[in-house]
């Protein structure tokens, strides 16, 4: 049996009261959306009411239909207003959560500063530029000829064992020193030549005092009448400029590309020559290697060793920096620890 008009009017009144009560309990946008679906969705209470109009008699159907449509319109307005209120509230909360207090003091931008290795490299370069040396650079990937052969280090020479080399191929390698720059320069220019060659070099070595990539500054002076006395004068002045007034000594040594060769030592910067762990209680620390250019090197670049002579030297920038700043672990230079770097 169909529903009477009275039943429908009671249902309309009940749904209206229920919807208003539900709306009053809504506390968020999501709850407002769910409430609207509950009453006006495809399976909502008002929609179900509309589907049941066919059960009302034909003469009562127009009036009941009108009442149901009025209910639908009223609830549409109720929930749309509710949704609008909560959308505004949610938007306001979002704005407030993202708000920037422009009255707060700004974050201080910390100024940058030069890395200690760069500082020491620049100091070394400045000393030699002041003595008339120019700066030359060369490729970090070299051929065996420039890195070894032209420097009087032929294949199977025992000196190659002193430099564990990174080979790219049979003929290409990462340079183990910046000496190849000297060869390139002598091939390109005629004496007199006075250059330094700063740059990165690579060797298969890694511990507290060695790094697989490190920095060197090598120097070369070639002209007529250059003697060991010139070498001693230049390098003694360099040591004085870098480390102040302290003793300097030259010890006989061996390098395949210089003859005679010498290691240069300075009085220990830690104990001032009294003896300590750093200098192994000798009072001296090695600072660089040097020597008179071997005639075989001149012949490799087309110079006449009977007409010209010269000296060469080389030093590790990390070694100089460790002595200058009393640092006992080379790895500190590469760890990018601001607590360490800010000290410079």
* pLDDT level of residue 264 (50, 70, 90 thresholds): very high
pLDDT the model gives residue 199: 94
- Counting the structural domains of the chain, the total is 2
Instruction: Tell me what the mean pLDDT of segment 14-32 comes to.
Output: 83
Render pLDDT for 108-129 as a digit per residue (tens, 0 to 9): 887 778 899 999 999 999 999 9
pLDDT the model gives residue 207: 63
Cβ atoms of 225 and 309 closer than 8 Å: yes
Domain boundary among 65, 97, 129: 97
* Statement: residue 339 has pLDDT above 60: yes
Q: Does residue 102 belong to any structural domain of this protein?
A: no
Residue 72, SS3 per DSSP = helix
* pLDDT level of residue 215 (50, 70, 90 thresholds): very high
* Statement: residue 163 has pLDDT above 70: no
* Statement: residue 211 has pLDDT above 90: no
pLDDT the model gives residue 160: 67
* pLDDT level of residue 1 (50, 70, 90 thresholds): very low
Which residues, other chains included, contact 27 with Cβ-Cβ below 8 Å and sequence gap of 6+? Answer: none
> How far apart (Å, rounded) are the C-alpha atoms in residues 339 and 344?
10
Task: Quickly count: other Cβ atoms within 10 Å of residue 1's Cβ.
Answer: 4
Domain boundary among 48, 65, 97: 97
Structure tokens at 253: 């040594």
Q: Specify whether 172 is located in the same domain as 303.
A: yes
Q: Specify whether 52 is located in the same domain as 161.
A: no
Q: Does residue 49 belong to any structural domain of this protein?
A: yes
Q: Specify whether 125 is located in the same domain as 52.
A: no
> How far apart (Å, rounded) are the C-alpha atoms in residues 62 and 56?
9
* Statement: residue 219 has pLDDT above 90: yes
* Statement: residue 151 has pLDDT above 80: yes
Q: Specify whether 302 is located in the same domain as 181.
A: yes
Domain with residue 267: its CATH number is 3.30.930.10
Q: Does residue 106 belong to any structural domain of this protein?
A: no
Q: Does residue 159 belong to any structural domain of this protein?
A: yes
Q: Specify whether 177 is located in the same domain as 139.
A: yes
Q: Does residue 41 belong to any structural domain of this protein?
A: yes
Q: Specify whether 262 is located in the same domain as 336.
A: yes
Question: What one-character DSSP code corresponds to residue 326?
Answer: T
Q: Does residue 190 belong to any structural domain of this protein?
A: yes
Q: Does residue 105 belong to any structural domain of this protein?
A: no
The long-range contacts involving 81-84, CB below 8 angstroms and separated by at least 24 positions, are 82/23, 82/26, 82/32, 82/35, 82/36, 83/29, 83/32, 83/33, 83/36
What does the mean pLDDT of the chain come to?
86
Q: Which carries the bigger pLDDT value, residue 50 or residue 268? A: 268
* Statement: residue 206 has pLDDT above 70: no
127-131, 162-166, 257-261, 275-279: least confidently modelled range: 162-166
Q: Specify whether 28 is located in the same domain as 122.
A: no
Q: Specify whether 175 is located in the same domain as 237.
A: yes
83 to 37, 80, 273: CA distances (angstroms): 12, 5, 85
Domain boundary among 48, 68, 97: 97
Q: Specify whether 87 is located in the same domain as 141.
A: no
Q: Specify whether 169 is located in the same domain as 292.
A: yes
Q: Specify whether 120 is located in the same domain as 93.
A: no
Render pLDDT for 239-255 as a digit per residue (tens, 0 to 9): 999 988 889 999 999 99
Range of the domain at 145: 116-341
* Statement: residue 146 has pLDDT above 80: yes
Which residues, other chains included, contact 149 with Cβ-Cβ below 8 Å and sequence gap of 6+? Answer: 155, 300
Cβ atoms of 197 and 159 closer than 8 Å: no
Q: Specify whether 171 is located in the same domain as 220.
A: yes
pLDDT the model gives residue 295: 95
* Statement: residue 47 has pLDDT above 60: yes
Render pLDDT for 273-303 as a digit per residue (tens, 0 to 9): 788 877 788 889 899 999 999 999 999 999 9
* pLDDT level of residue 210 (50, 70, 90 thresholds): low
* Statement: residue 58 has pLDDT above 80: no
Q: Does residue 40 belong to any structural domain of this protein?
A: yes
For strand 141-143 and strand 258-267, is the pairing parallel, antiparallel, or unpaired?
A: unpaired
- Residue given tokens 């020597």 in the structure block: 291
6-39: b or e for each residue (b if 16 or more CB lie within 10 Å)?
eebeebbeebbeebeebbeebeebeebbebbebb
> How far apart (Å, rounded) are the C-alpha atoms in residues 150 and 142?
12
């Amino acid at each position: 049996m169909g529903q009477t008009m009275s039943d429908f009017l009671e249902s309309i009144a009940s749904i209206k009261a229920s919807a208003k009560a539900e709306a009053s309990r809504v506390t968020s946008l999501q709850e407002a959306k769910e409430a609207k679906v509950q009453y006006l969705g495809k399976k909502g209470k008002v929609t179900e009411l509309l589907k049941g109009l066919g059960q009302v008699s034909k003469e009562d159907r127009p009036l009941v239909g009108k009442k149901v449509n009025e209910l639908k319109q009223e609830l549409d307005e109720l929930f749309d207003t509710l949704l609008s209120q909560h959308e505004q509230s949610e938007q306001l909360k979002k704005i407030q959560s993202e708000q920037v207090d422009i009255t707060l003091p700004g974050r201080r931008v910390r100024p940058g500063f030069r890395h200690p290795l760069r500082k020491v490299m620049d100091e070394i370069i400045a000393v030699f530029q002041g003595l008339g040396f120019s700066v030359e650079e060369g490729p970090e990937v070299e051929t065996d000829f420039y890195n070894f052969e032209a420097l009087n280090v032929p294949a199977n020479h025992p000196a190659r064992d002193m430099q564990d080399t990174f080979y790219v191929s049979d003929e290409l390698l990462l340079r183990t020193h910046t000496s190849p720059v000297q060869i390139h320069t002598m091939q390109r220019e005629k004496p007199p030549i006075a250059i330094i060659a700063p740059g990165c070099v690579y060797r298969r070595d890694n511990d507290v005092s060695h790094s697989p990539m490190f920095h060197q500054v090598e120097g070369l002076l070639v002209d007529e009448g250059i003697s060991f006395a010139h070498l001693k004068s230049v390098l003694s002045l360099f040591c004085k400029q870098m480390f102040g007034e302290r003793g300097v000594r030259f010890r006989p040594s061996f390098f395949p590309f210089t003859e005679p060769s010498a290691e240069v030592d300075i009085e220990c910067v830690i104990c001032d020559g009294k003896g300590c762990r750093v200098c192994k209680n000798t009072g001296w620390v090695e600072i660089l290697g040097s020597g008179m250019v071997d005639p075989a090197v001149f012949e490799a670049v087309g110079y006449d060793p009977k007409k010209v002579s010269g000296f060469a030297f080389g030093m590790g920038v990390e070694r100089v920096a460790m002595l200058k700043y009393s640092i006992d672990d080379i790895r500190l230079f590469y760890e990018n620890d601001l607590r360490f770097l800010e000290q410079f």
